[in-house]
Structure 1
Amino acid sequence: MILIRGKCGITKGASLYLISMATADLLVILFGIILNALASIYFPLSFLLQPAVCSVNAVLAYAAIDCSVWLTITFTFDRFVVICCHNLKARYCSARTAAAVVSTVSLLNILRNIPFYFKYQPHDTLDGVPWGCNTRPEFFRLPGWVAFFWIHQLLNPLIPYLLILLFNALTVRHIVLANRARRGLRTPSNRDQRGDAEMVNRRKSIILLFVVSGSFILLWMPKISVFLLMEITNNHFYPSYDHPVMIADISGTLLFYLSSCTNTALYALTQSKFREELKRALKYPFTLIRESLHFSNKHKWICSFPVVHRSVDISWSQSI
């Protein structure tokens, strides 16, 4: 909501990327966590556990995760173009291009996750009605499913791993070379001073890129490790949740859900104007209560004033 207001000093294209990333992150929480928790823990006999419903929810959850990751990639590329490709900046870094990229990435991620609808089979029957969702055993055995599963893992997160590292490495390299050139052009008397705002901004950009890359890599690392272990051992089913691999898999799932919420916050919170707007938003309820109380007291005073004034006027006229 803060980004939608457009008072953060961010370009329309960058704001659109950040808004779309935040929306994808919220959808990850909704479809990946909240609906699953409602279906499996709080309402186990609700319509959410019907095979068709949980299959659709699975497709939307996978699509939301992929959108969150790939929108982060597209925004990273947009920042790379802004910093490193000045000739391409005017044509690519615009609100129209950002809208086209966001729409294309979202549509492609939804389409490529549709096969997950057929990944599940009913867990049991309740009064003759199929109930629950279990992964089909052939999902890990049939060549078509195996190929689809590997392509899915390559597109998220293996290729995003490489792309984030590549774009951020090229951006950092460009910033370091630009800093060297800028330092060489400065006069000897000012070369050792630390008040260069441009150098400070570039240093912050490097720190931001390392933080974003590091958080993405570290938070996805357990899930990737478990995936490779399962593929190497060819064992995708474990007897209980107490098994070490299952614990690692669940922990990895928790961490990559967390990774879908960190990048947008990191990108946004580094903007000073965004932090100012966030402080205003947090203070707004208290400001609204204070203004309401002030208005109420003022309204009482105004309403009581004519009564006193009228009584004074009446007594004064009678005395005359």
Structure 2
Amino acid sequence: MHEPVIAPFFVVFYSILAAISAPANLLAFIILLRGRCGLSRGITYYLVAIAVSDFLVITTAVILNRISRICFRKSLFSTTPACTLSVVLVNASLDCSVWLTVAFTIDRFAAICYQRQKTRFSNEKTALLVIGMICVLCSVKTIPLYFAFLPLFILDGVSWFCNIKASFYTWPVWQAYDWLFRIMTPFLPFFVILLLNILTIRQIIAANRARRRLWGAENRQDPEMANRQRSIVLLFAISLSFLLMLSPVVGHFIYVCLKAKSDFDGLDFRNPKYIFEESTNILQLLSSCNNVFIYSVSQNLF
């Protein structure tokens, strides 16, 4: 049978994404690490961590998982041990990227809305502690996935590809883990960031009105608001982009929950449901690429 037209599109897209995003995130890491972008150390640490996690997402999810699965189906990466390890690494890096974005949003929300407690929550020590905890917890959370797969088939003593165990859909322990896994990413982060952005916008509007009354004229330059502008623009650019890219993923999550179980497994480009699932994955992976361009547009010193 002929290869579907949609399959080359995915190959080309993932190749372009990897060629642009991997070096871009590496460059962003180097630039941010120098600390010359006019941002506080706490914000810089979060952005450095996000750049590293995004680089790992592109490396594991795009290069080692997507491109190798589509272009090199009988390579070392298609053996069952490599396949299961790839699943763990991909989900761990994606979780880190998502929850680091959530942590950055919470940090900026606390700094903007709770000025008196700013030094307690928004500092470099807290940032390093939160980043370390997120990386450890996301890694531990994905380890059980390694034991959820069996070989799809065994040929000449070599196990190939991954197939989810039947017990994954029947055992209560696996079902509870699956629900927890899906709620933690992407459902909960999506609504946490959405809620925090709404509260932050409301706080900014109220603070602007109060400061305008205090200064007595709208046409006078407020140095405090000017200093906070870079941080506010960066927060909204990253979080709103995150929400936009993750909306289809949340929609797919709700669809799978209503269907009780995904009924399309494997690499089947002829299945419209698989194409829809892969399209949501594309948007989620794309969110690991656009942060670099957000830094460039919103931060002059970058």
Matching of residue 257 in structure 1 with residue 285 in structure 2:
yes
More deviation, 136-145/231-240: 231-240
Aligned CA distance change for structure 1 residues 77 and 4 (closer, same or farther; 3 Å): same
Shift of 1:106: 0.2
For the residue of structure 2 that corresponds to 1:252, the secondary structure is helix
Q: Aligned partners of 2:218, 2:110: CA distance in 1, in Å?
A: 30
Match of 1:215 in 2: 241
In structure 2, C-alpha distance between the alignment counterparts of 1:77 and 1:208, rounded to whole Å: 13
The two structures, once aligned, show a CA RMSD in angstroms of 2.3
Question: Do the aligned residues in 1 keep the contact of 2:245 with 2:286 (CA within 8 Å)?
Answer: yes
Once the two structures are superposed, what CA deviation does each residue of 1:245-298 show, in whole Å capped at 9, x if it has no partner?
222111001111112333464356412211xxxxxxxxxxxxxxxxxxxxxxxx
* 1:20 equivalenced with 2:46 (yes/no): no
TM-score, normalisation: structure 2: 0.81
Q: What one-letter code is carried by the residue in structure 1 that aligns with 2:285?
A: Y
- Alignment partner, residue 219 of structure 2: 193
User: Does 2:258 match 1:229?
Assistant: no
**Is contact 2:60-2:89 (8 Å) kept?**
yes
Offset, 1:211: 4.0
| 2:75 corresponds to 1:49 | no
The answer to which structure, 1 or 2, has the higher relative contact order (CA under 8 A, 6+ apart) is: 2
Q: In the alignment, which residue of structure 2 is the partner of 1:67?
A: 96
Contact residue 18 and residue 264 of structure 1 kept, 8 A: no
Describe how 1:83-162 pairs up with structure 2 within 5 A.
83-162=112-191
Aligned to 2:39: 10
Partner SS state of residue 272, structure 1: coil
Q: CA deviation at 1:168?
A: 1.7
SS in 2 for 1:6: coil
> Relative to structure 1, is the Cα distance of residues 120 and 268 closer, same or farther in structure 2, using a 3 angstrom cutoff?
farther
Of 255, 266, 270, which aligns to 2:294?
A: 266
The change in CA–CA distance for 1:200 and 1:90 in structure 2 (over 3 A counts) is closer
Structure-to-structure mapping, 1:298-309, within 5 angstroms: none
The 2-side partners of 1:208 and 1:17 are apart by 12
Partner SS, residue 301 of structure 2: helix
Q: 1:121 Cα shift? A: 1.2
Q: Structure 1: where are the runs of 5+ without partners?
A: 275-320
Shift of 1:46: 2.6
Q: Quick one: distance in 1 between partners of 2:225 and 2:115?
A: 18
The Cα offsets for residues 115-159 of structure 1, whole Å up to 9 and x where unpaired, read as: 110122111112122111122233233322221111111111111
Contact kept? 2:248, 2:280, Cα under 8 Å: yes
User: How many residues were matched structurally?
Assistant: 271
- 1:179 deviates by 0.6
Residue type of the alignment partner of 1:111: V
- Counterpart residue identity of residue 23, structure 1: V
1:41-99: per-residue Cα shift (whole Å, max 9, x none)?
34333322221122111111101000001001111111112212222221222222211
Name the stretch that deviates more: 140-149 or 197-206. Answer: 197-206
Q: CA deviation at 1:182?
A: 1.1
Separation of aligned partners in 2, 1:208 and 1:11: 13
- Provide the C-alpha distance between the structure 2 equivalents of 1:98 and 1:268, rounded to a whole number of angstroms: 23
Q: Structure 2: 5+ residue runs without aligned partners?
A: 1-29
Identical amino acids, percent of aligned pairs: 39
State the partner residue of 2:58. Answer: 29
User: Is the CA contact 1:70–1:160 (under 8 Å) kept in the aligned structure 2?
Assistant: yes
CA–CA distance in structure 2, aligned partners of residues 107 and 235 of structure 1 = 29
Query: What is the distance in 1 between the residues matched to 2:190 and 2:278?
Result: 21
SS of aligned partner of 2:159: strand
Greater shift in the superposed pair: 47-56 or 109-118: 47-56
1:242 pairs, out of 270, 278, 285, with 270
Q: Is the 8 A contact 1:49 1:132 kept in 2?
A: yes
Matched residue type, 2:258: I
Distance 2:232 2:127 in 1: 23
Contact 1:230 1:236 in 2 (8 A): yes
Deviation (angstroms), 1:202: 6.0
The CA distance in 2 between the partners of 1:267 and 1:149, in whole Å, is: 35
